Amino acid sequence: MSARQQSGFGRAYRQICTTVAAAAVAGAIGAQAPASAQEELEGEIRFSWWGGQLRNQKTDQILQLFEEENPSVTVVRENSDWLPHWDKLTIQSAAGNQPCAIQMQTRWLATYAKPDILRPLDDLLEAGELDVRGIAEPVLQSSRGDDGQLYMIPSGVFFFAMMYNKTMLEEAEFELPSDSWTWDDFAQLIRDIAPKLPEGVNPTHNMGREQDSFVTWVQSQGYPVFEGTKLGFPEEVTVEWFEYWEEIRKAGLTDSPEEAIADNGSLIEESNIANGRTFVTNRPPNRLDSHQQVMDAVRPGDQLSILPYPSAEDGTTGMDLGANGIAIGATCPEELVPVAVAWINFFTQDPRAAAIYESDNGVVAVDRFQDEQANGPNTSRGQLEQILIFQEVAPGAKPINWPSGGFAAMTQSLNQAYDAVAFEALTPEEAASQFASEMDDLLN
Amino acid sequence: MSTVTAPAARVAPAKRPARAIPKGRGGSPVRRAENRAAYLFLLPWFIGLFGITIIPIAASLVLSFTDFDILSPPSWIGLDNYEKLLTGDRRFMNAVDVTIRYVGFSVPLILVFSLTIAVMLNRGLSGLAIYRSLFYIPSLIGASVGIGILWREVFGERGIFNHFIALFGFEGRGWITHPNYALDVVIALNVWTFGASMVIFLAALRQIPNSYYEAASIDGASALQRFRRITLPLLTPVIFFNMVLLTIGSFQSFTQAFVVSRGTGGPIDSTLLYTLYLYQRAFVHLDMGYGSAMAWLLLLAIAAMTAFVFWTARYWVFYGDR
């Protein structure tokens, strides 16, 4: 690893570089049962989470189990879609009305990780109230705020990858790329396979505007994405990224700029990859099963699969890694904190909860459930692929320390900058400069 | 205001005695009780006016001079937000440009369209109530999220609009995802909601006495002349009214651009209306101080624009009784 890499990846990277090994350590040190498990619980708490219908059903099912075991406890359900979840939490936090239990994510944690918004959890952890058995120490540590306090108990670990049509690859008589494939290998594969794909199929979705693809590129070039609240890489890296995708686009190997924008925000049912209109794209691995369901209806027999992002020529990988979990609102009354703690313990540690949730929102953070799901007879192919690829990429992953507002700023600024290049309104150099200045404006 | 005393000879016989002015400040006990009851009934409205209108407006003015991320206490920065808006924010200038184009095309198109339809419907058409309702419905639902989503699907790359023009041999495209056409789609959606203006025009057309048209016809005026010399002048107060309402409403348009562009104002900020950018700064990037400053600039711009339209009214609005 180069010196510039080490300087930039920050606290989370230093702590997560050996995820699998640390998981074993965490399992060994966390054998103590939580003290709150023996208490009689009563009261009403609110729990807010994000997700679609399937995840809502699963969460509700787990909540019902929890309420059955604690008959004096009621949990008020507050579910939203992804973005409204954060809008609502912001308003609730400003009004001091945040729920006792809040689903949280490391990408957004910096915005809310303040003692007057989220309750620091270190005292509950030290007292043995919170149960973190089997959660890898690096993953747990990535749930700390800038002030070093723990604000979230991780329940699932997520990453981004590429999703491709395995059947098209096989019918074109190409081999699956090796684990150590590079960005050049990817471009070459797209060029080679294009003539052999069915008519009307885009060889690749244009990922120039995709934030998760871009940060992987940046990190694979040996740079951190952020240094505090500043971008951690020079403009040339952005220029190269734009030029990389422009070369592929101008060769007619991507979807059109209009189609790329539409596909970026489309529902799974409308997405090009699920409808067999694109050979490869970027998608969260936990959506593989949902995409496959659509594909089964549209192109029966075709199989989708996932594979890690390419690395740099020197083998440097750039995979980001993040965690979803549950936090406790700072305004949660002290007498209800044990209820919120019990709910967190139940959601993250109860085997029935893990079996219901099935790594739906990131690979389950508790290692024993991860192994169970990987070897379970009822585990779906999508879940299994997700877990196996996670175990493959986790040791080399580089979790990004997202500053407050960094995720929204990055998504917006990159979209605008690359769209301007793709519609030929700006040169890659101009767009990279615009991207850098707007990130600086939004973050500082 | 002075009081003029009429000559005694011209005073008409009093039908009833003049009402005595109560001597006490609050009038009689009965009157005072009535006043108390009235204020009690008005209290919910006053609470609403102050609680969710006057105080937040005043607070936003104060916040516009602060750096405030909603999750931490605000810090005073003076005129920095305004200075940055007017001198160093590329997207702000772009949002102003997009909004001016949006208002500049939407308002005249809605006025022309709604007046044309109103004149057509005013020609003694049978089933007028049905047509009037049909044309009015879009103005009720046009600003809804559901219609925005429908519009996005209709004008998407695989939308029904492209299938329709393909029947005539035209090649479709992603109308809402191309920077050259996305704003046109949003303007079209706004124009589609012409029903409210049309209903007002229709009501005004029915107020014009038929005798004017009959007299003009006897004098040999053609239909176009009757429209230019009678209808249009007598409608100018209503045109003025609709123009002011539409201008203010269009400056504040948000939902349509938000839904069609999925909240981005894209592609390449081509649908970034002023209010959408304000929303992004305030609620996505949690820059409430900046958002408040934008809101106050918008208020001033709308006030200036409205004042300008009122000033021009003296040259083109015809009130029949003056």
Identify all chain B residues contacting A117, using CB atoms and an 8 Å cutoff: 71
Strand, helix or coil at A306? strand
Q: Could you tell me how many CB contacts below 8 A there are between chain A and chain B?
A: 69
Residue A38 pLDDT: 53
Nearest to A348 by CA among A66, A155, A156, A138: A155
Phi-psi region of A87 (alpha: psi -120 to 50; beta: other; left: phi over 0): alpha
Q: What is the pLDDT of residue A3?
A: 37
Determine contact: B157 vs chain A, CB below 8 A: yes
Considering CB atoms only, which of B71, B90, B177 is closest to A94? B71
Residue type, B61: L
User: A27 CB near a chain B CB, below 8 Å?
Assistant: no
Cα of A419 to nearest chain B Cα, Å = 6
DSSP letters for A174-216: -PPPPTT-BHHHHHHHHHHHGGGSPTT-EEE--GGG-HHHHHH
Q: Is the ipTM of this complex over 0.90?
A: no
Q: Answer whether A261 sits within 8 Å of B174, measured CB to CB.
A: yes
The DSSP call for residue A168 is: H
Q: Does B177 touch chain A (CB under 8 A)?
A: yes
Spatial contact of A353 and A429, defined as CB atoms under 8 Å apart: no
**Separation CA A403–CA A409 (nearest Å):** 10
> Which chain B residue lies closest to A419 (C-alpha atoms)?
B268
Alpha carbons within 13 angstroms on the beta-carbon side of residue A109 total 32
Using alpha carbons, list the distances in angstroms from residue B74 to B62, B67, B292: 10, 6, 12
Give the closest of A87, A419, A441 to B267, CB-based.
Answer: A419
Spell out, as residue ranges, where chain B has pLDDT lower than 50: 1-12
Chain B residue closest in CA terms to A407: B285
- pLDDT, residue A306, reads 92
B52 and chain A in contact, CB less than 8 A: no
Which string of b and e fits B254-266 if b means at least 16 CB within 10 Å? ebbbbbbbbbbbb
| Nearest to B159, CA basis, from B175, B144, B146 | B175
Torsion, Cα A38 A40 A44 A47, to 10 degrees, reads: 10
What residues of B are in contact with residue A93 (Cβ under 8 Å)? Answer: 70-71
Of B157, B176, B268, nearest to A419 by CB-CB distance is B268
pTM: 0.83
Q: Which of B156, B179, B285 sits opposite A262 (nearest CB)?
A: B156
Q: Does B262 touch chain A (CB under 8 A)?
A: yes
What number of other Cβ atoms are within 10 A of residue A309's Cβ?
25
pLDDT of residue B140: 81
Residue of chain A whose alpha carbon sits nearest to that of B71:
A94
Quote the pLDDT of residue A392: 83
Q: Do B71 and A261 touch (CB under 8 A)?
A: no
Determine the residue among A93, A205, A211, A419 to mutate to test chain B binding: the one whose Cβ has the most chain B Cβ atoms within 10 Å.
A419
Q: How far is CA A91 from CA A117, A402, B278, B284, in A?
A: 11, 21, 16, 11
Q: CB A111 to CB B71 under 8 A?
A: yes
Tens digit of pLDDT per residue, chain A (444 long)? 333 333 333 444 334 433 433 343 333 333 344 444 456 889 999 999 998 888 999 999 999 999 999 999 999 999 999 889 998 999 999 899 999 999 999 999 999 999 999 999 999 999 999 999 999 888 888 899 988 999 999 999 998 899 999 999 999 998 877 777 899 999 999 999 999 999 989 999 999 999 999 999 999 999 999 998 899 999 999 999 999 999 999 999 999 999 999 887 778 888 999 999 999 999 988 889 889 999 999 999 999 999 999 998 888 888 888 999 999 999 999 999 999 999 999 999 999 999 998 888 889 999 899 888 888 888 888 888 888 888 888 888 888 889 988 998 999 999 999 999 999 999 999 999 999 999 998 988
What is the model's pLDDT at position B126?
79
Chain B residue with CA closest to A111: the answer is: B71
- Which of B71, B176, B177 is closest, CB to CB, to A93? B71
Chain B interface includes A112 (CB < 8 A) = yes
Among B178, B258, B284, most A C-beta atoms within 10 A, so best to mutate, is B284
Nearest C-alpha neighbor of A209 from the set A426, A422, A441: A422
CB contact at 8 A, B189 and B148: yes
Q: Closest-CA residue in chain A for B156?
A: A262
Do B263 and A83 count as a contact with CB atoms less than 8 A apart? yes
d(CA B25, CA B126): 59
Residues in chain B within 8 Å Cβ distance of A441: 89
